[in-house]
Structure 1
Amino acid sequence: MSAIWTGVSGLLSYSTGIANTGNNLANTGTTGYKSSRLLFADMISEMAGGTSDGSQIGTGVQVGSVSMTTSTGSPISASQSMDMAINGERGYFVVKKPGTDKTYYTRDGAFNFDVNGYLTTETGLNVQGWAVDQTAVTAAKRTGTVLSQVPTTGTLTDIQIKDYTSAAQATSAVTMITNLDGQTEPGTLDATDPYFSMFKRYNADNSPPISNTAYSAPIKVYDSEGGTHTLTTYYSKVSDENGKEYWEYMVTMPPEDDGSSTTSGTSKAGVLMIGTLTFSAQGELENETAFTPSGSDPTDLASWTQASLDGSGNPKLNATFRSASNSSNILSSQPIVYKDGLSSSNASWSASAPATAADIGTLTSANAGFNSANTKNAATCTSNYSTSSYTASSTQDGYASGTLLSTSVDENGVISGTFSNGQTIELFVVGLADFVNPTDLYREGNNLLSATKESGDASLGRANSGVFDSVSGYTLESSNVDMATEMVNLITLQRAFQSNSKVVTTADEMMQKALEIKR
């Protein structure tokens, strides 16, 4: 009798093994599928009859365990930008069923945005992530701070794009790096204020307001509504003295765009900042001054006082634009940091620097706005080499509004949107989960897994950080089923099943023979 039950245990166990192998083979093409590994265990043995040495005979076989293998499937190219694959074993995408708190985990990264802007799985579950802290990102860009990773805000939530537009951003910083030809002859100088001769010639009622300058460098900037305006920096050489060169510069906007209560309607409408540049004998910018209007009479140099400096020691101007769509609408004053490559390391003017533009007069020494011990030159800086004047680089940080054109995900799981205004904005960071024992995750079907007591609770994190592997976009993870191995397993299990069926028939024949002897 025991032989029959031993054979039956084999039939039952190997039948389960064949079913497990069949399931693996059936899911060979399932995205992100993890094969199951089935292990057998022997059953309790019993004492062998007729022996005196404690010998035992086994009573059969049973299924010991079925666990999930976590090896990574091969990456395959995909056509959708939101198709993702995790490049290693550490990490599972986190998804939730809408309207519930039920959380699942998956390696199937076939995601797409639905009509409501939610990033979902193919079965409609919402992919989870963290919203990017746009305030922190903008602040970092404006201060030139390099962030170690994209900052996020809030808790893990549904990834949803609610607004398919990018709001306009007003220009807050302009960088204008030029080379001013050292062979240029000085322009016509004012007898009283030679360092502001160009400013004195400027007349908003003329077209153009200023002419006969040594060089001019325009740049397009944006107001708070996304309207465009042109800022032009004019340069004029003043003198060569003791191997150094002194230049006057003036930052302007079109007079008709000027809505400032100080300069609008006057002959100096459109003038935003004036100052001087001092170059060394080697053509390097070594000092500067900068003045902005603060008095009631912008035609008087005494009304132009020291410009304020930002935290990095660059001068700031204030532009009050008229709306590009309605010139009668005057926008709020817009501070703009103006960078020419030279700054003050202690973010302050020298104690002996002229307080107003009028204080410079004819004094060459008064052109030192910064303490020479605190000046700092950027890697690219306005220069005075003996070659044609040119603009080396000009940048600004404003832009108009735009609409979403496409989305993408990088190796850190950061989902970014590309907009029609040329901006790429980081929107969300995909959340990943890891487990102490992922082989014991519970299979829910539809490529979904859930945590169990044996797997442990999920530890959340972001791709390419800590223990978590990186993410690839336009990629899916194939099943990790090895067909060759599974086919060999199938043959082995089939033969084992046949052998155990033979055990059962043989035991049956033995019992039949025993009954015949009795008769």
Structure 2
Amino acid sequence: MTAIWTGVSGMLSYSQGIANTSNNLANTNTVGYKSSRMLFADMISELAGSTTDTNSQIGMGVQVGTVSMSTGVGAIATGDQSMDMAIDGEHGYFTVKDPVSDKTYYTRAGDFNFNTDGYLVSPTGNRVQGWAVDQAAVTQAERTGSVLPEVPVTGDPTDIRITDFTLPAQATGSVSMITNLDSLTDPGILDATDPYCSMFKSYDAANTPPATAAYTSDIKVYDAEGGAHSLTVNYSKVTDTGGKEYWEYMVTVPPADDGSSVTGGTSKAGVLMIGTLTFSAQGVLENQTAFTPTGGDPTDLSSWTQAPLDSTGVPQMSATFKSVSNGSVLSSQTMGFKTGLSASGASWNPNGPSSAADIGTLAAANAGFDPSSTRNAVACTTSYATSSYTQAQSQDGFASGTLNSTSVDENGVVSGTFSNGQTKDLYVLALADFRNPTDLRREGNNLLSATTESGAATTGRANSGIYDGISGYSLESSNVDMATEMVNLITLQRAFQSNSKVVTTADTMMEKALEIKK
């Protein structure tokens, strides 16, 4: 009888092994599927006959020991959708949540897409989890020129959802104009009492651009409604003196666009900032002044006082635009004006001119920044003996746009590309990992759940810490090795046949024993 039960245990165990192998083979083409490995264990043994030697034992058969999940990475194949994604390594699982039960699951299958409600979901409707990008921090970094080590996020992981497929307009908050001003340019027509403000004093809103400008450079900026306005930076050579070169500059917008209560409707309508640039004999920008109107008569230079500086030491100007749609006056917006030079202490020279009127005819009065506290950016305005030209220009405003496409990068950042040419980071995927992922519980539909044996999930970002990166427009194939599984299937089949032979042999023995009794 013992031999029969031993053979039956083998048949039962190996039939389960065949079922496990069959399941692996059936999921050869399942996205992100992880094959299962079945290990067998012997059953309790008993003493052989009546011997008292505890080492003389006869086994009682075989049983299934463990069934563990193989965490090996499947081949990465090209996906068909923009939100198809794969994890480039063993460390990391996508986190999804069932919207009905609110239960959290984990998966390696990255065949996601946005549904009609704007949620990023799996094929079965589970919502992908991630952190919302901190848009305020991104904008602040862009305007101050700060380099962020990673895309900033805010709050806890949540459903990734695009609620509005439009990108609102963003008012320009920073303008960068990097030029080269030809050092061989002749000085313009100078005012006798205020030569360093000659261009401004000759400016008339009814006759733009200034006749005395030696070089101008234009850039399109945007108001809060997304309306576009042309911003012009005018430059005029003043003098070469004391081994230095001095230029006057003036930042303007079309007078008809100026809704300011100070300059609007006056002869200085459209002027946002005036100032001077000081260059060394080698053409390097080494100092700058910047003045903006603070009230009073805009034609009076004493009404143009030192512009405020942002935290990085860049002068700021205020613009009050008229709406391009209905001509109404919009709220004032602050714009930083970058020439490439800034004050490292974010403050003006205490001995410098407090207003444009304080410069007068003194070249030394153009030291707006403390000469010992200035810094030049890699891209900085220069004055070399070559034709004046614009080296680089940029601004951070834009009109509203509609979403054209989405993508995900190697760091798990989900971005949207909009019809206005802007690309905006929206979410950062939340990946999970486990102390023992081989013991995760299979829930069907490519879903896994944490168990006591696997340990609780730890959450992190792709390409940080232990977590691997993301491949966009890709899918991870099943890690089933068909050749290995076919060999296992043959081996298990032979083992099943051998155990069935044990049963039939034991049956024959019992039959012979019964014949002897007869």
Deviation per CA, 1:329-377, whole angstroms, max 9, x where unpaired?
Answer: 1111111111111111112221221222122121122122122111221
Supply the AA of the counterpart residue of 2:300.
Answer: D
1:146 Cα offset (Å): 1.6
Aligned to 1:56: 57
1:465 aligned onto 2:464: yes
CA distance, structure 2, for counterparts of residue 384 and residue 302 of structure 1: 29
Given the alignment of the two structures, is residue 211 of structure 1 paired with residue 211 of structure 2, yes or no?
A: yes
Q: Secondary structure at the match of 1:247?
A: strand
Match of residue 77 from structure 2: 76
Does the CA-based 8 Å contact 2:109-2:475 persist in structure 1?
Answer: yes
Secondary structure of 1:349's counterpart equals coil
Q: Does 1:419 align with 2:418?
A: yes
Q: Deviation of residue 447 (structure 1)?
A: 1.0
Partner residue in 2 for 1:165? 166
Q: Which residue of structure 2 aligns with residue 271 of structure 1?
A: 271
CA 1:367–1:11: 2 relative to 1, 3 Å: same
CA separation in 1, counterparts of 2:398 and 2:354? 34
Describe the SS at the equivalent of 2:430. strand
Matched, 1:103 2:104: yes
The structural deviation recorded for 1:74 is 1.1
In 2 relative to 1, CA 271–2 (structure 1 residues): closer, same or farther, beyond 3 Å?
same
SS in 2 for 1:282: coil
Distance 2:370 2:57 in 1: 97
The answer (yes or no) to whether the contact 2:202–2:210 under 8 Å persists in 1 is yes
Equivalent in the alignment of 1:177: 178
* Offset at residue 51 of structure 1 (A): 4.6
- SS across alignment from 1:17: helix
* Structure 1 CA distance for aligned equivalents of residues 411 and 115 of structure 2: 23
| C-alpha distance in 2 between matches for 1:43 and 1:175 | 78
Instruction: Give the CA RMSD over aligned residues.
Output: 1.3
Structure 2 equivalent of residue 280 of structure 1: 280
Cα distance in 2 for partners of 1:52, 1:197 equals: 117
Aligned length: 517
For residues 140-159 of structure 1, what are the alpha-carbon distances to aligned partners after superposition, in whole Å with 9 as ceiling and x for unaligned? 22222222222222222211
Q: Which stretch shows the higher mean deviation, 215-224 or 85-94?
A: 85-94
- Deviation, 1:132, is 1.3
Q: What whole-Å deviation, never above 9, does each CA across 1:41-93 have from its counterpart, x for those lacking one?
A: 11111121265644211111111111111111111111111111111111111
Q: Secondary structure at the match of 1:181?
A: coil
Offset at residue 243 of structure 1 (A): 2.3
Query: Structure 1: how far apart are the matches of 2:341 and 2:129?
Result: 46
CA-CA distance at 1:487 after TM superposition: 0.7
Q: Find the aligned partners of 2:84 and 2:106 in 1 and give their Cα distance.
A: 16
Question: Does residue 390 of structure 2 align to residue 377 of structure 1?
Answer: no
Secondary structure at 1:286's aligned position in 2?
strand
Q: Which moved more, 1:159-168 or 1:295-304?
A: 295-304
User: 1:337 aligns to what?
Assistant: 336
SS at match of 1:380: coil
Aligned-partner Cα distance in 2 for 1:49–1:244? 111
1:169-218, Cα deviation, whole Å (9 max, x unpaired)? 11111111111111111111111211111112111122x34224211111
Alignment TM-score, normalising by the size of structure 1: 0.97
Check 1:494–1:302 CA distance in 2 against 1; reply closer, same or farther (3 A cut): same
CA distance in 1, matches of 2:319, 2:430: 43
Contact 2:171/2:397 (8 A) holds in 1: yes
Contact 2:273/2:291 (8 A) holds in 1:
yes
Give the match for residue 22 of structure 2.
22
CA distance in 2, matches of 1:50, 1:356: 113
Q: Which moved more, 1:52-61 or 1:440-449?
A: 52-61
1:3 maps to what in 2?
3
Return the offset for 1:239. 1.3
Supply the AA of the counterpart residue of 1:102: K
Change (3 A) 1:103 1:295: closer
The corresponding residue for 2:308 is 308
Cα distance in 1 between the residues matched to 2:81 and 2:330: 43
Cα offset, 1:318, TM superposition? 1.0
Residue 454 of structure 2 is aligned to residue 447 of structure 1 = no
Contact 2:189–2:212 (8 Å) recurs in 1: no
Q: Which amino acid aligns with 1:402?
A: G
Which runs of 4 or more aligned residues in structure 1 lie more than 4 Å from their structure 2 counterparts after TM superposition? Answer: 50-54
Residue 319 of structure 2 is matched in structure 1 by 319
- Counterparts in 2 of 1:90-129, with a 5 A limit? 90-129=91-130
Q: What one-letter code is carried by the residue in structure 2 that aligns with 1:40?
A: F
1:381-400 superposed matches below 5 A: 381-400=380-399
Partner residue in 2 for 1:409: 408
Corresponding residue SS for 1:515: helix
- Unaligned 5+ segments in structure 2 are none
The 10-residue stretch of structure 1 (432-441 or 69-78) with the greater mean CA deviation from structure 2: 432-441
